[in-house]
Amino acid sequence: MSNFTTPPPTPEHALLSFPASYVLLVTLNRPRGLNCINSQGHVDLHEVWEWMDEEPSVRVGIITGTGRAFCAGADLKEWNNRTTTKKRTEMPTSGFGGLARRKGKKPVIAAVNGLCFGGGSEMIINSDLVIASSRAVFGLPEVKRGVVAQAGALPRLVRTVGKQRAMEMALTGRNILPEEAERWGLVNEVVDVKDLSEEEGNKVVVSRAAVVAGLIAGNSPDAVLVTREGIKLGWEGIGADEATGMLSETWMRRLNEGENIKEGLKAFVEKRAPVWKDSKL
């Protein structure tokens, strides 16, 4: 892909690629540090997701990691230095990895290839779908280090898996295997990679995420954005009537004035595949 309205960012510790039409792949690339994210990494990833939301030719994002980890959380060495020197570093408003408190409009799929701890788990909790390798391991081990998962995961986790499971995960800090995470509803799908090498397994998980991303990207870009917003309103704890009213008064009005709803209905009547326009919502 090269028809961008603005050039993509160049993050220091992540690789950007485009595995399918309208799909952005962000690969965390600090394998020796298990893809832990430092202060600059948060800023860089915030800029990546901001760019994706504003770039019409990108409709879905995927995030994954290089090596045996998806993301093992914060850079604890840097965190220790900040604690010792009392030097404050501001986190972007979107939180850990630009995802933990992201308010963006386009969907992000987490392709969890391996270890997913702390901030890594916070990122996937706020992702829209999660495809996990059978080698993935999840956890919120912050309590074991005297810190707290403060990037937005705790109140959102309880809405995803329920109070008792959220308490178990966050208070014990124990590891959660992918099959258990799938039963809990934290993971959409587990991809079996036990007979593959690490590199091959990672590729298979990303490929599966790209297939799902392609299904989303093939739908009306306007309808995807508005549908996602409606689900998010309910997930954030707004009542059904209030959320429906908010969606109707804001997003639905804009969707109904756009070209894609007209194209989708016309294509149905004419019994052909719709040709979508880039979203202007």
Output phi, psi for 95, to 5 deg: 80, -160
Alpha-carbon span 9 to 46, nearest angstrom: 10
Higher-confidence residue of 203 and 252: namely: 203
Hey, what are 259's tokens?
């070209």
CATH number of the structural domain 14-217: 3.90.226.10
User: In terms of Cα–Cα distance, which of 235, 97, 125 is closest to 181?
Assistant: 125
Other Cβ atoms closer than 10 A to 41: 24
Q: What is the pLDDT of residue 88?
A: 59
Q: What is the pLDDT of residue 2?
A: 59
Please check the confidence at residue 10 and state whether its pLDDT lies above 70. yes
Active site residues: 74, 119, 122, 142
Mean pLDDT value of segment 102-129:
95
- At 150 the three-state DSSP class reads coil
Q: Which residues contact 256 (CB under 8 A, 6 or more apart)?
A: none
The overall longest dimension of the chain from CA atoms, in Å, is 67
C-alpha torsion 27→29→34→35, nearest 10: -70
Please check the confidence at residue 234 and state whether its pLDDT lies above 90. no
Alpha-carbon span 138 to 49, nearest angstrom: 23
Confidence category of residue 260, pLDDT binned at 50, 70, 90: very high
Confidence category of residue 119, pLDDT binned at 50, 70, 90: very high
Computed over every residue of the chain, the mean pLDDT equals 91
Q: What is the pLDDT of residue 57?
A: 92
Q: pTM for this one?
A: 0.92
Bridge-based pairing state of the strands 60-65 and 23-28 = parallel
Can you point out the beta strands (E) in 57-199? Answer: 60-65, 69-71, 108-112, 115-117, 129-133, 137-139, 189-191
Question: Is residue 96 within 8 Å of 45, Cβ to Cβ?
Answer: no
Alpha-carbon span 47 to 251, nearest angstrom: 24
Ordered by start, the domain boundaries in the chain are 14-217, 221-270
**How many CA atoms, within 13 angstroms, populate the side-chain half-sphere of residue 120?**
30
Alpha-carbon span 81 to 128, nearest angstrom: 33
Alpha-carbon span 255 to 253, nearest angstrom: 5
Hey, what are 226's tokens?
């508005």
